[in-house]
Chains A and B, each alone.
Chain A
């Protein structure tokens, strides 16, 4: 037997549920519209090809894709990097690898009518590479030493704090640059050849390092701005 008081309580509960559902539905619609990507920028790092053509020590490229979502940018970058050095004493080092980065930026120019970007952000990056070195040294006590050592399929991750600019130059063409503070590389120096350079990261001789990229980008609008 259902009592009237129980029916009343059930009705109240249903009303609250429906009212809540309506509020949630309204919020979700509102939120959803805010979080729809408004533009996609695809670009290419412009210094790497120049360096590749002018230097015998470097060969590499880097591409970037970033999506504008509200005041945030979802960023993905991939690249390739090969180094080739010869020391004065005849020692050589070469590496070759691929890397990727994913992360997000916060745009601080939210009211700019051209949608220019000044951002701070974070990346997680990972690199996989091979390296070979011929190490030569002459010791007054122990004599000459020469040894060739290699590491294959070394995988290293690291984190980056970034700051960057994206400036609209003409219609869909944009230029940009990103400065990176790279830290917390996960390299375990437990191999007979200690790693000198990590593609995408740089030198391992310090705990942290800096990097810079200059980009030519094309912006594809995904939603008309109001």
Chain B
């Protein structure tokens, strides 16, 4: 009978443990879909400056700053519907991606909100260069890859100053305003000291002129010349305009020239690369 008593105590101990088995009221939704920015050329991560994310017309930024430089971004999608239109606005472009998914719901407890489980993520439509869904379950790594075609018209200018011995060394320039002679997308902020800028060339002309306003209200103008040819770099991107033989046609900077190659590199400074290399150096 002693053994029976001991066994009784054991059973009541198990009963006490069972009373601790209450459901948790957190992690009730996996509604964060992660977009990964990639380059179509090699599939590697791309870096973008994200300005804004909208989902079905509602801003759902998961970051506090106005703009952030990143390669992946998570947005909260509408778990009360089975479709969300996600708009990712970067400095370069605005991309819309219409995504569909399955939403399963579960009653959790008297004190918790219902749980929503999103799965079977798919892209219903997109104006991105290319997209795919490597992981169809939200909140489990990167869900949607957003690919971009190679950028063929962005040059890079490095700012330099002349040292006492005549050598050039790295410098910064503060630009308060920049104007192109065509409808261009700028890739830098209008404030702060910049050591370089990336500038798009006009794909419809053999020259492009930029006018920069400096903090003392003076302005500097620079005109680039180039040749244009069309080429299929990637079939998914179709025919693209390729810019070669870059040169400076005119400049009001103290000095502006092709960026010198060092002996170790075989880069052609008068051609455009993606990601961009320094094509020109400017002394002011």
A binds B: yes
Contact of B23 with A205 in the complex, beta carbons under 8 Å: yes
With a cutoff of 8 Å between Cβ atoms, the chain A residues found around residue B76 in the complex are 141
B189 at the interface (CB under 8 A from A): no
With a cutoff of 8 Å between Cβ atoms, the chain A residues found around residue B8 in the complex are 165, 177
Inter-chain CA distance A167–B111, complex, in Å, is: 40
Contact of A196 with B108 in the complex, beta carbons under 8 Å: yes
B70 at the interface (CB under 8 A from A): no
The closest CB in chain A to the CB of B14 belongs to: A179
Contact of B107 with A196 in the complex, beta carbons under 8 Å: yes
Contact of B4 with A192 in the complex, beta carbons under 8 Å: no
From B17, B60, B107, contact of A91 by CB (8 A): B107
With a cutoff of 8 Å between Cβ atoms, the chain A residues found around residue B206 in the complex are none
The closest CB in chain A to the CB of B103 belongs to: A192
A33 to chain B, nearest CB (A): 28
Contact of A118 with B3 in the complex, beta carbons under 8 Å: yes
Contacts across chains A and B counted by CB atoms under 8 Å: 105
Task: Tell which of A16-24, A61-69, A131-139 binds the partner.
Answer: A131-139
With a cutoff of 8 Å between Cβ atoms, the chain A residues found around residue B18 in the complex are 209-212
With a cutoff of 8 Å between Cβ atoms, the chain A residues found around residue B7 in the complex are 118, 163, 165
B112 at the interface (CB under 8 A from A): yes
Inter-chain CA distance A118–B4, complex, in Å, is: 7
With a cutoff of 8 Å between Cβ atoms, the chain A residues found around residue B106 in the complex are 133, 135, 193-196
Inter-chain CA distance A210–B109, complex, in Å, is: 18
B177 at the interface (CB under 8 A from A): no
A107 to chain B, nearest CB (A): 12
Report the count of interface residues on B (CB-CB < 8 A): 36
Inter-chain CA distance A85–B110, complex, in Å, is: 7
Contact of B111 with A143 in the complex, beta carbons under 8 Å: no
A8 at the interface (CB under 8 A from B): no
The closest CB in chain A to the CB of B28 belongs to: A137
Inter-chain CA distance A193–B14, complex, in Å, is: 31
B52 to chain A, nearest CB (A): 15
Query: Given A116-B4, A137-B113, A193-B104 in contact, is the A206-B58 Cβ separation under 8 Å?
Result: no
Contact of B114 with A136 in the complex, beta carbons under 8 Å: yes
Contact of A165 with B107 in the complex, beta carbons under 8 Å: no
Inter-chain CA distance A3–B21, complex, in Å, is: 81
Per-residue CB contact flags for chain B residues 47-86 toward chain A (1 = under 8 Å, else 0) read: 0000000000010100000000000000010111100000
B59 to chain A, nearest CB (A): 9
B117 at the interface (CB under 8 A from A): yes
A142 at the interface (CB under 8 A from B): yes
Contact of B79 with A191 in the complex, beta carbons under 8 Å: no
Inter-chain CA distance A195–B10, complex, in Å, is: 31
The winner among A143, A177, A179 for most chain B CB atoms within 10 A is A179
With a cutoff of 8 Å between Cβ atoms, the chain B residues found around residue A109 in the complex are 3-4
The winner among A87, A109, A147, A164 for most chain B CB atoms within 10 A is A87
Contact of B11 with A179 in the complex, beta carbons under 8 Å: yes
B15 at the interface (CB under 8 A from A): yes
B105 at the interface (CB under 8 A from A): yes
Contact of A205 with B11 in the complex, beta carbons under 8 Å: no
B220 at the interface (CB under 8 A from A): no
B228 at the interface (CB under 8 A from A): no
A93 at the interface (CB under 8 A from B): yes
Query: Given A149-B105, A194-B117 in contact, is the A88-B4 Cβ separation under 8 Å?
Result: no
A86 at the interface (CB under 8 A from B): yes
B186 at the interface (CB under 8 A from A): no
Query: Given A116-B4, A141-B76, A177-B11 in contact, is the A210-B21 Cβ separation under 8 Å?
Result: yes
7 further contact pairs, Cβ within 8 A, besides A93-B107, A137-B80, A189-B104: A88-B111, A133-B106, A135-B105, A192-B103, A194-B105, A196-B107, A211-B18
Q: Which residues of A contact B (CB under 8 A)?
A: 85-89, 91-93, 108-109, 116, 118, 133, 135-137, 139, 141-143, 145, 147, 149, 163-165, 167, 177, 179, 189, 191-196, 203, 205-206, 209-212
27 contacts between A and B (CB under 8 A): A85-B107, A86-B110, A87-B110, A87-B111, A87-B113, A91-B113, A92-B107, A109-B3, A109-B4, A116-B4, A118-B3, A133-B107, A135-B105, A137-B116, A142-B79, A163-B7, A163-B10, A164-B11, A165-B4, A192-B103, A194-B115, A194-B117, A196-B107, A203-B21, A210-B14, A210-B18, A210-B21
